[in-house]
Amino acid sequence: QVQLVQSGSELKKPGASVKVSCKASGYALSSYAMNWVRQAPGQGLEWVGWINTNTGDPTYAQGFTGRFVFSLDTSVNTAFLQISSLKAEDAAVYYCARSYAMDVWGQGTTVTVSS
């Protein structure tokens, strides 16, 4: 069964960092690109960017450069999103989604930023 399983909710202080994982099962991570999508509380969907799971090359949407970093560990079939210097406005649910078609989604990881 093809699925993406994300890490659990995170509560972080402003200025801290968080690393969200997205473990693929039922297929090889390197077979499909991986997208990351953000959904702020009560808001719509916003594309953060994608990573080429063959080369590791990332592409970030405008507004997500600098503090947002995608990475991979193909040995454990897992993609990661790291956000540094967290701000209150980073609080959201972050989803990973497979391929340009976004045909399979993780369950989402809630990141809360609060002092």
Partner 1 sequence: DIVLTQSPGTLSLSPGERATLSCRASQSVSRDYLAWFQQKPGLAPRLLIYGATSRATGIPDRFRGSGSGTDFTLTITRLEPEDFAVYYCQQCGSSPYTFGQGTKLEIK
CB of 69 to partner 1, least distance (A): 17
DSSP 8-class letter at 90: G
CB of 68 to partner 1, least distance (A): 13
Nearer to partner 1, 22 or 83 (CB): 22
CB of 24 to partner 1, least distance (A): 15
CB of 115 to partner 1, least distance (A): 26
**C-alpha to C-alpha distance for 43 and 31, rounded to whole angstroms:** 31
Nearer to partner 1, 10 or 46 (CB): 46
Contact status, residue 21 vs residue 73, Cβ threshold 8 Å? no
Q: Which residues bind partner 1 (CB under 8 A)?
A: 35, 37, 44-47, 49-50, 59, 61-62, 95, 97, 100-103, 105-108
Contact status, residue 86 vs residue 13, Cβ threshold 8 Å? yes
Nearer to partner 1, 29 or 48 (CB): 48
Dump the DSSP string for 8-70. PPEEE-TT--EEEEEEEESS-GGGS-EEEEEE-TT---EEEEEE-TTT--EEE-TT-SSSEEE
Nearer to partner 1, 39 or 71 (CB): 39
